[in-house]
DNA sequence: TCATAATGTTGTATATACACAATAAATTGT
DNA sequence: ACAATTTATTGTGTATATACAACATTATGA
């Protein structure tokens, strides 16, 4: 199973699932399935989502559980 | 459709499809399908392959056609 | 050259990604 | 508090990723 940050990335931008679904051209319920982890995005959809959010793929999807964005940002700052 | 560099990455390392398939835990014929572009890898398999080859996902998969590795390397050098 | 390994092709079966519809529940704004 | 929007749930249908088998073709090495 693949972990993703779609929900945070989406809500951070103040978008509804419908908004995001239209942007990447899938059914709005598909976004719900991904956010709930009911199934994984296809590689193509993953690319489209990462491109839409303007983040590298591995910032939106991962084989391993994510830290929160805040944790990761704090860790990065500490590393400077 | 998603483009990939699996065949080059694999042959550059002198691996057979069977070798690679075992490393990422899929059927060896699945590697053939991907290399021929018969279908796309799942996101999970794409991550496993990129991890196995130790390259970022977008160096192995792309929404748009790839340059050859040699072209890309030459372009990168020219950019220095 | 011959044997073996690697790849290609065709076919069948299964799991999963995605579409779509209907309705229920929860959130949000006024 | 009410209305409107958003999200969740359930169900059905389709396309596609993957497994596996059998056999053909091509490449490789001794």
Q: What is the CATH number of the domain that holds A63?
A: 1.10.260.40
Query: Taking 90 as the threshold, does the pLDDT of residue B69 lie above it?
Result: no
Q: Domain range holding A15?
A: 3-78
**Cα–Cα dist A19/A23, whole Å:** 6
pLDDT of residue A80: 84
Angle at B57 between CA B55 and CA B62, to 5 degrees: 125
B contact test, residue of A3, A45, A56, A57 with most B CBs within 10 A? A57
- For chain A, what percentages of helix, strand and coil (3-state, to nearest 5) are there? 60, 5, 30
End-to-end CA distance of chain A: 32
For residue A42, the 8-state DSSP code is: B
Question: pLDDT category, B1, cuts 50, 70, 90?
Answer: confident
Question: pLDDT category, B80, cuts 50, 70, 90?
Answer: confident
Angle at A67 between CA A66 and CA A71, to 5 degrees: 155
Residue indicated by tokens 């491109």: A51
Give the H or E element holding residue A15.
none
Nearest chain A Cα distance for residue B2, angstroms: 6
Contacts of B41 in chain A (CB under 8 A): 43
Tell me the per-residue pLDDT of A42-70, one tens digit each, with 9 for 90 and over. Answer: 999 999 999 999 999 999 999 999 988 88
Question: What total of structural domains would you count in chain B?
Answer: 1
Cβ pairs A/B, distance under 8 A: 44
B contact test, residue of A43, A46, A48 with most B CBs within 10 A? A43
Tell me the per-residue pLDDT of B18-37, one tens digit each, with 9 for 90 and over. Answer: 999 999 999 999 999 999 99
CB contact under 8 Å between B48 and A62, yes or no, is: no
Question: pLDDT category, A36, cuts 50, 70, 90?
Answer: very high
């Amino acid at each position: 199973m693949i972990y993703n940050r779609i929900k945070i990335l989406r809500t951070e931008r103040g978008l509804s699932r419908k908004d995001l679904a239209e942007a990447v051209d899938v059914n709005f319920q598909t976004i719900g399935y991904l956010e709930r982890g009911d199934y994984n995005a296809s590689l193509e959809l993953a690319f489209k989502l990462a491109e839409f959010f303007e983040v590298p793929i591995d910032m939106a999807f991962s084989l391993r559980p994510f830290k929160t964005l805040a944790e990761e940002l704090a860790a990065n700052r500490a590393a400077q």
